[in-house]
Amino acid sequence: MAKTEKAAANPPDSEANLTVEQLAYETGMSVRNIRNHQSRGLLPPPEVRSRIGYYGAEHVARLRLIQEMQAEGFKLSAISRLIGEHGADADRFVGLRQAVTAPFATEAPEIYSREELVEIFGTDDDRLIEKAKKLGLLVEIGDQRYEAPSPALIRAAEEVMAMGIELPAALAAIEKLSRNAQSSARTFVDLFVENVWRPFDEAGRPEEGWEEIIAAIGRLRPLAFDALNATFGVSAFTPGLPLGVVHLVASAASAG
């Protein structure tokens, strides 16, 4: 057992020097699951020496990628399709995944104490704080402190409240906007999958096309943002949308 712990305590190098039991210890995965991934073609075969299979850094990295993808909700069948039947595209998929999950927002998060939030929002209602956390406006970091990933949204809520709109209504509006934004994002995902990824996949994922695919992801994200922002600007000035506001303003002016 001491030998196993010693091998697992050191990061695996490029040489295959881990038995399947040591690989299991290194990755926190059961031997049974490792064997299962091998049978699915998700893990390259080990290097066999004296009838014993040995694994290296490539195997550790592959298993950790599988663990991360499973944690994000991918099923093994989908993982197999994404990284290739025998894992040949795993390294490329890592680059694709990094491009997809790279932070897009340019504003820096800000930290607020509970007292500062009470001052900003005018309430110490735990339910509203929980609602803000659920919407992703606030992330609790301990010691009665919260991180705001997008300070602009906090300031927007503050300005809306300055107009006389109560915080519950402001949070409800943000929740609705979030749902609409997710739907819009899905539209661009479908656009990419159907017109960029699917032809590439059907062509056998040629080696020379991977850089273009990853670059397309990088271009699509700001393009989607700009298109959504422009569409909102156009929609805000369509005749029907602000009609109610116009009527209210006109009524107020007539009454005056």
Report pLDDT digits (tens) over 33-90. 999 988 888 888 899 998 899 999 889 988 988 888 888 777 888 788 777 544 556 6
d(CA 103, CA 100): 9
| Structural domain containing residue 132 | 110-165
What would the DSSP string read from start to end of 158-193? HHHHHTT--HHHHHHHHHHHHHHHHHHHHHHHHHHI
Q: Does 17 map to a domain? A: yes
The answer on pLDDT for 19 being more than 90 is yes
Mark whether 157 and 123 lie in a shared domain: yes
Question: Are residues 38 and 67 both part of a single domain?
Answer: yes
Question: How many domains does the chain fold into?
Answer: 3
Q: What is the pLDDT of residues 112-127, one digit of tens each?
A: 999 999 888 888 888 9
Q: What is the mean pLDDT of residues 4-16?
A: 49
In a domain, 96, yes or no: yes
In a domain, 45, yes or no: yes
Contacts of 121 by beta carbon, 8 Å cutoff, 6+ apart: 128, 157, 158, 161, 167
- pLDDT for 5 equals 40
pLDDT at 103 over 90: no
Please, are residues 228 and 184 in contact by the beta-carbon 8 Å criterion? yes
For residues 23 and 72, state if they share a domain. yes
Q: Let me know whether 11 and 83 are in one domain.
A: yes
Asked if residue 97 and residue 6 are part of one domain, the reply reads yes
Q: Are 34 and 20 in contact (CB under 8 A)?
A: yes
Asked if the structure places residue 256 within a domain, the reply is no
Same domain, 182 and 216: yes
Contact 15, 55 (CB under 8 A): no
251 occurs within a structural domain: no
Q: Are residues 152 and 194 in the same domain?
A: no
In a domain, 254, yes or no: no
pLDDT, residue 87, reads 53
Q: Are residues 158 and 191 in the same domain?
A: no
Residues 236, 241, 244, 250, Cα dihedral to 10° = 50
Q: Where a domain ends, among 52, 68, 101?
A: 101
Confidence at residue 84, expressed as pLDDT on a 0 to 100 scale: 56
Of 3-7, 92-96, 110-114, 146-150, minimum mean pLDDT range: 3-7
The mean pLDDT of 4-22, rounded to a whole number, is 62
The answer, yes or no, to whether residue 25 has pLDDT greater than 90, is yes
Percentage of residues in the chain having pLDDT higher than 70: 77
For 19, the token pair is 């038995």
In a domain, 44, yes or no: yes
pLDDT (0 to 100) of residue 6: 38
Domain C-terminal end among 54, 73, 101: 101
Which are the contacts of 209, defined by CB distance < 8 A and separation ≥ 6?
A: 200, 203
Are 130 and 199 in a shared domain? no
90 and 18 in a single domain? The answer is: yes
Looking at 101, 119, 135, which one is the last position of a domain? Answer: 101
Question: Do 144 and 189 sit in the same domain of this protein?
Answer: no
Name the residue with higher pLDDT: 117 or 103. Answer: 117
DSSP state, residue 197: I
Query: Do 6 and 84 sit in the same domain of this protein?
Result: yes
Domain with 45 in it: what CATH number?
Answer: 1.10.1660.10
Do 18 and 55 form a contact (C-beta atoms < 8 A)? yes
